[in-house]
Amino acid sequence: MTLKLDGKKLSLSIEERLKKDIISLQNKSIRPPSLAVIRVGDDPASGVYIRNKEKACERVGIKSLLFHLSQNSSKIDVSNLIKDLNSDKTVDGILLQLPLPGHLDSIKLIREIDPKKDVDGLHEQNIGCLVQNQLTLRSCTPAGIVNLLRSQDINIEGKRIVVVGRSILVGKPLALMLLNLNATVTVAHSKTKNLREICREADILIVAIGKPNFIDSSFIKNETVVVDVGIHRLKSSTKDASHLCGDVLLEDVIPKVFAYTPVPGGVGPMTVTMLLVNTTFSWQKRCGLNSTVDDLLS
Ligand code: NAP
């Protein structure tokens, strides 16, 4: 039977572990961890993602602080807020919710976040540490994928892994993490020739392209592990109804593969959980403690 890589279940068990760590330190009168989220404008999808993050923080005992700036905020407005949060000793993590309004440069603003508080793992210093395979705050979605594979003892070392997508958020940091774990990694993108043939060589195929149901069984060899990062809400044939799907046409692929991540309930919950892990890691370091979550930062 095909193995389902259940991100929801794993994320709940990691949350239990974080909750225990946080409570045990609070019992020693250490302040709780805190995460500052900066939202600029009113992108509706961002609103949903932020609420999910707030709820997750609440479940494990992380204090979440939302800073909601107006759509027409200037670069200086956002920079000043980042500066204040950088110097606030009670803030452990800063997350700049993307996408930003078009007039703001996300790369430049992320560069202004204190790398030790960069819980999204997107600061160039943290990406640099990843290149050098040094322990640091890791990009949440890729770190979540690696933890999901490891949780089911899916071997990474020596495996031929194809990552489709090369975004700074998913594909590139993921490829580096897998390389650090001794996989042989191919990164494909929109200009890749013979994508189908390349995908068919993969022992583990990871798809992050943002195209609903793009990858079907013709891209996959038997007994592959398929990780679907994409998430899309599609209108169902029934009026007003909708459903979620990924970049992989799962119903076509599942009979052929060894393991797969469902959508929803696969990569998505792990992304949020890794944000909690990063915030807890940053908090433990800031409080001068040995981090108990090092092993979750691949
Ligand atoms: P992105 O920034 O749009 O990057 C998409 C990547 O896919 C690009 O590298 C692009 O190539 C490549 N690509 C596009 N069409 C392709 C094609 N036909 N063949 C091969 N490669 C193709 O997207 P992203 O931020 O990485 O996100 C990808 C998907 O994952 C989206 O659906 C997003 O919503 C989802 N996502 C989910 C989570 C989660 O937690 N579940 C987290 C992050 C993202 P080029 O570089 O050549 O343009």
Asked whether 148 lines ligand 1 (CB < 6 A), one says no
Dist. CA 91–CA 114, nearest whole Å: 11
CATH classification of the domain holding 223: 3.40.50.720
144 and 110 part of one domain: no
Number of the ligand 1 atom closest to the C-alpha atom of 170: 26
Query: Do residue 98 and residue 157 come from a single domain?
Result: no
Is residue 19 situated within a structural domain? no
Say how far apart CA 99 and CA 133 lie, in whole Å: 28
- How far is C-alpha 297 from the chain's CA centre? 12
Task: Give per-10-residue mean pLDDT for the chain (298 aa).
Answer: 97 97 88 97 93 97 98 98 98 97 97 98 97 97 98 98 97 98 98 98 98 98 98 82 94 98 97 98 93 91
Could you list the residue range(s) of the whole structural domain that residue 262 is in? 140-268
Q: H or E stretch including 3?
A: strand 3-4
Residue 147 dihedral angles phi and psi, to the nearest 5°: -65, -35
* Chain-centroid distance, C-alpha 209: 15
Respond yes or no: is residue 193 known to be catalytic.
no
Bridge partners of 260, per DSSP, are 4, 226
Does residue 152 share a domain with residue 34?
no
Distance 168 CA to ligand 1 centre (A): 10
Residue 157 sits in the same domain as residue 247: yes
42 is known as an active-site residue: no
The reply to whether 247 and 156 lie within a common domain is yes
Is there a single domain that holds both residue 197 and residue 242? yes
| Residues 148, 92 within the same domain | no
The whole-angstrom separation of Cα 195 and Cα 191 is 9
Active-site residue flag, 53: yes
- What is the dihedral sign for C-alpha 279, 280, 281, 283? positive
* CA 267 / ligand 1 centre spacing (Å): 14
Q: What are phi and psi of 85, to 5 degrees?
A: -70, -35
Shared domain check, 151 and 109: no
* 243 and 173 co-located in one domain: yes
Is 107 within the bounds of a domain? Answer: yes
- Give 26 Cα–ligand 1 centroid separation in angstroms: 40
| Nearest-10 Cα torsion for 276, 282, 288, 291 | 50
Q: Has residue 148 been placed in a domain?
A: yes
How many angstroms separate the CA atoms of 276 and 282, rounded? 10
Write the CATH number for 89.
Answer: 3.40.50.10860
Q: What is the pLDDT of residue 239?
A: 66
In a domain, 156, yes or no: yes
Number of domains in the chain: 2
Is 39 inside any structural domain? yes
The reply to whether 110 and 186 lie within a common domain is no
pLDDT at residue 238 in the model: 72
Task: Confirm whether 119 is domain-assigned.
Answer: no
Separation CA 66–CA 101 (nearest Å): 17
Cα 59 to the center of its chain, rounded Å: 18
- Give yes or no: residues 82 and 148 share one domain: no
Residue 221's CB: how many other CB atoms inside 10 A? Answer: 14
Give the integer Cα–Cα distance in Å for 70 and 91. 22
Note whether 146 and 105 are same-domain residues. Answer: no
Q: Is the CB of 189 within 6 Å of ligand 1?
A: yes
Asked if residue 122 belongs to a domain, the reply is no
